[in-house]
Structure 1
Amino acid sequence: MERKSVTISYLELKRGQNPQGMSVDIEGLHIKQLTIPCPAFNYFMYRAVGGEWFWIDKLNWSEKEWQNYVERDNLQTWGAWQHGAPCGYFELEQREAETTEIAYFGILKQFSGCGLGKTILLEALTIAGKEGQQRVTVNTCSLDHPAALANYLARGMTIYYEETIEKSLPNITPAFWPG
């Protein structure tokens, strides 16, 4: 394990602010809510999307822990598919009475760079804002994809807090594929 300084940016989109940008019409893209909790889907996406970016907090969770996590009433999981292949996902978590957090958001590596991040984030912000929430929040850090913060800012979100912490990280990324 190595210690690394990590900057975390906390962002919000307040009620009355509309997400910025036009979604790109991407052929074959479908975004659907998983109305049946599926721990294997969340686990797969967490590992496949986040492995390269040191998403490590839930790596050692058991199936039961994942099941308890996804079955909570305050969590929605949304999947994105392009031509039937999973390409990304997001989790919306009701935090406070009038705040929805985008708890996780990401695109599979092979689908990066074609406008999916922008389009799926716009959908996530629109869905989260439909519940009459006062604000939608998300956080990103210096370990995440280099375009993550810029994407959130380009959609109209603003940084309301930043901090730098020391975090213990594995010496290599916990990538989805071994080697």
Structure 2
Amino acid sequence: MPRTLDTVVTYLEMTDDPGRSPRAPSLPGLALLKVEDIPLHYYRYLYDAVGRDWHWVDRKKLSDEDLAAALHRDTVDIYVAHVKGAPAGYFELERDLPGRVLLAYFGLIPDFIGLRLGGWLLDTAIATAWSHAPARVEVETCTLDHPRALGLYQKKGFRPVKRVEKTMTLLD
């Protein structure tokens, strides 16, 4: 029988551009790269490295064909932060609905948590989302996510609009 976990998903939105200029932390070799047509093995690595501790499973369930269809669209942008050439975290934006940008995935690889990258990367994701001139930017998080995730989203200007209880099926 598959393992399940109960969680509360919080949906958040931002309807005004905060107009913040992201301030990069002072780290040697910090770079942010937009990845075009991301190789699936690299995406799977990032997704697992960032999301393993937080029970990210949705994209792990997808076949290569379905994952490629989800990622390799003109309405999806993936940015990867690097420190000294090593991937440190990423964010993924989806612009599928008119007037909306979804921050679909965001996070850091555990080795890079605590280096003041999270706030900068989130500010960068928000600024990038607003560069598309949407009416709103949305994100969701859940109680299985990093304990500071919800607070960070709210600190950066997102406000909760809905909470839903869900049961997640984990992979073996």
Q: TM-score, normalised by structure 1?
A: 0.86
Higher mean C-alpha displacement, 19-28 vs 97-106: 19-28
Unaligned runs of 5+ in 1: 175-179
Q: Residues 51-107 of structure 1, C-alpha deviation per residue, up to 9 Å, x if partnerless?
A: 111111121323222222221121111111011110000110013111000101110
- What's 2:77 paired with? 76
Tell me if the contact between 2:91 and 2:105 (Cα under 8 Å) persists in the aligned partners: yes
Tell me the distance in 2 between the aligned counterparts of 1:59 and 1:16.
33
Distance 1:51 1:129, change over 3 A: same
Tell me if the contact between 1:19 and 1:156 (Cα under 8 Å) persists in the aligned partners: no
- What's 2:100 paired with? 99
Q: Which structure 2 residues correspond to residues 49-68 of structure 1 after superposition, within 5 A?
A: 49-68=50-69
Tell me the distance in 2 between the aligned counterparts of 1:75 and 1:8.
23
Tell me if the contact between 1:18 and 1:156 (Cα under 8 Å) persists in the aligned partners: no
- Residue 139 of structure 1 pairs with residue 144 of structure 2: no
Q: Which structure 2 residues correspond to residues 90-129 of structure 1 after superposition, within 5 A?
A: 90-129=91-130
- What's 1:148 paired with? 149
- What's 1:27 paired with? 28
CA displacement at 1:23 relative to structure 2: 4.9
Tell me the distance in 2 between the aligned counterparts of 1:9 and 1:26.
32
Distance 1:4 1:40, change over 3 A: closer
Counterpart residue type for residue 164 of structure 1: E
Counterpart secondary structure, 1:79: strand
CA displacement at 1:37 relative to structure 2: 3.2
Tell me the distance in 1 between the aligned counterparts of 2:102 and 2:60.
21
CA displacement at 1:18 relative to structure 2: 3.7
Unaligned runs of 5+ in 2: none
CA displacement at 1:24 relative to structure 2: 3.3
Tell me if the contact between 1:43 and 1:66 (Cα under 8 Å) persists in the aligned partners: no
How many residues of Structure 1 are paired with residues of Structure 2 in the alignment? 171
- What's 1:47 paired with? 48
Tell me the distance in 1 between the aligned counterparts of 2:73 and 2:145.
26
Counterpart residue type for residue 72 of structure 2: E
CA displacement at 1:114 relative to structure 2: 1.3
- What's 1:4 paired with? 5
Identity, % of aligned positions: 29
Counterpart residue type for residue 147 of structure 1: R
Tell me the distance in 1 between the aligned counterparts of 2:23 and 2:82.
19
Counterpart secondary structure, 1:96: coil
Counterpart residue type for residue 139 of structure 1: E
